[in-house]
């Protein structure tokens, strides 16, 4: 059985691909399809949110008013900036600049962690104010507490699922940094960097939708 073709020419080529181009475009297409499934995954939550917001506008506005727009806005800024550093990381990988790649990945990870810290502060506020759904949930305003709680159930589900994705992204970048330190990447092969880049941009975009939906909509 010949491993044949250009296999000998590149140590990165897996046995079942014809050339590096095919291998790379397959991986990128796979990532895009995966992101499509992610959109559907979040889509279920967005649909539920849209339905309940239409059914109960008052309680949802009340819930939305309890969120801290400044912290949410800060996190939006952090993630947008992290998308920028991620793009620079991919660019450095393209040029084969290993040190820059490690620098930008570390920067992106740091921003991801900063996002987490801010999110943690927000969630802690919610905990102190008894806005975490469950037996201890408490709401003082005019609106029906159980409907305001519904807002918070969706808020925590959506931001929680998003945060899980941020966490996975940070993990993936950590792994990239280890690989980069071991000099695994080169100008001709840096597919994992590109894939994690795509993923990270997706995570940012989800937040770009979550922020106005949860924090801004209906605010006067």
Q: Give me the 74-93 binding string for other proteins, x by CB under 8 A, dash otherwise.
A: --------------------
Contact with other proteins (CB under 8 A) among 110, 116, 123, 143: 143
Residues 37-66 that bind other proteins (CB under 8 A): 37-38, 40-45, 47-48, 51-52, 55-59
Choose among 95, 207, 114: nearest CA to 158.
207
Choose among 155, 65, 169: nearest CA to 119.
155
**Contact flag: residue 169 with other proteins (CB under 8 A):** no
Would you state the structure tokens that stand for residue 144, as one six-digit string? Answer: 């029906």
**Contact flag: residue 164 with other proteins (CB under 8 A):** no
Region for residue 183 given its phi and psi (left: phi exceeds 0; alpha: psi -120 to 50; beta: otherwise): left
Round to whole Å and give the CA distance between 19 and 7: 7
**Contact flag: residue 109 with other proteins (CB under 8 A):** no
Would you state the structure tokens that stand for residue 130, as one six-digit string? Answer: 């008894």
Round to whole Å and give the CA distance between 77 and 127: 24
Q: How far is the CB of 8 from other proteins (least distance, A)?
A: 10
Q: How far is the CB of 11 from other proteins (least distance, A)?
A: 6
**Contact flag: residue 127 with other proteins (CB under 8 A):** no
Burial status of residue 143 (CB atoms within 10 A of its CB: 0-12, 13-18, 19 or more) = middle
Per rule CB under 8 A, count of chain residues that contact other proteins: 62
Measured from the Cβ of residue 186, the count of other Cβ atoms closer than 10 Å reads 13
Q: How far is the CB of 157 from other proteins (least distance, A)?
A: 6
Maximum separation of any 2 CA atoms in the chain, in Å: 76
Round to whole Å and give the CA distance between 157 and 214: 12
Q: Which is nearer to other proteins, 51 or 216 (CB)?
A: 51
- Tell me which residue has tokens 């020419």: 9
Contact with other proteins (CB under 8 A) among 104, 115, 199, 207: 199
Round to whole Å and give the CA distance between 75 and 118: 7
**Contact flag: residue 140 with other proteins (CB under 8 A):** no
**Contact flag: residue 23 with other proteins (CB under 8 A):** yes
Contact with other proteins (CB under 8 A) among 18, 19, 129, 188: 18
Residue numbers of the site for other proteins (CB under 8 A)? 1-4, 7, 11-18, 22-23, 25-27, 29-31, 33-34, 36-38, 40-45, 47-48, 51-52, 55-59, 133-135, 142-144, 146-147, 149-150, 153-154, 157, 172, 179, 184, 191-192, 195-196, 199
């Amino acid at each position: 059985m010949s491993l044949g073709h250009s296999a000998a020419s590149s140590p990165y080529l897996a046995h079942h691909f014809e050339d590096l181009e095919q291998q790379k475009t397959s991986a990128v297409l796979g990532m895009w399809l995966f992101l499509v499934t992610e959109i559907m995954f979040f889509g279920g939550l967005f649909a539920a949110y849209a339905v309940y917001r239409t059914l109960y506008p008052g309680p949802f506005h009340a819930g939305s008013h309890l969120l801290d727009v400044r912290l949410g806005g800060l996190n939006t800024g952090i993630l947008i900036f992290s998308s920028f550093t991620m793009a620079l990381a991919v660019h450095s990988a393209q040029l084969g600049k290993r040190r820059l790649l490690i620098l930008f990945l570390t920067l992106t990870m740091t921003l991801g962690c900063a996002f987490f810290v801010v999110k943690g502060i927000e969630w802690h506020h919610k905990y102190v104010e008894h806005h975490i759904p469950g037996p201890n949930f408490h709401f003082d305003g005019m609106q029906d507490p159980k409907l305001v709680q519904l807002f918070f159930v969706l808020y925590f589900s959506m931001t929680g699922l998003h945060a899980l994705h941020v966490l996975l992204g940070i993990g993936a970048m950590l792994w990239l940094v280890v690989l980069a330190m071991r000099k695994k990447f080169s100008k001709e092969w840096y597919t994992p960097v590109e894939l994690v880049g795509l993923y990270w941009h997706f995570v940012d975009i989800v937040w770009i939708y979550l922020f106005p939906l949860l924090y801004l909509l209906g605010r006067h």
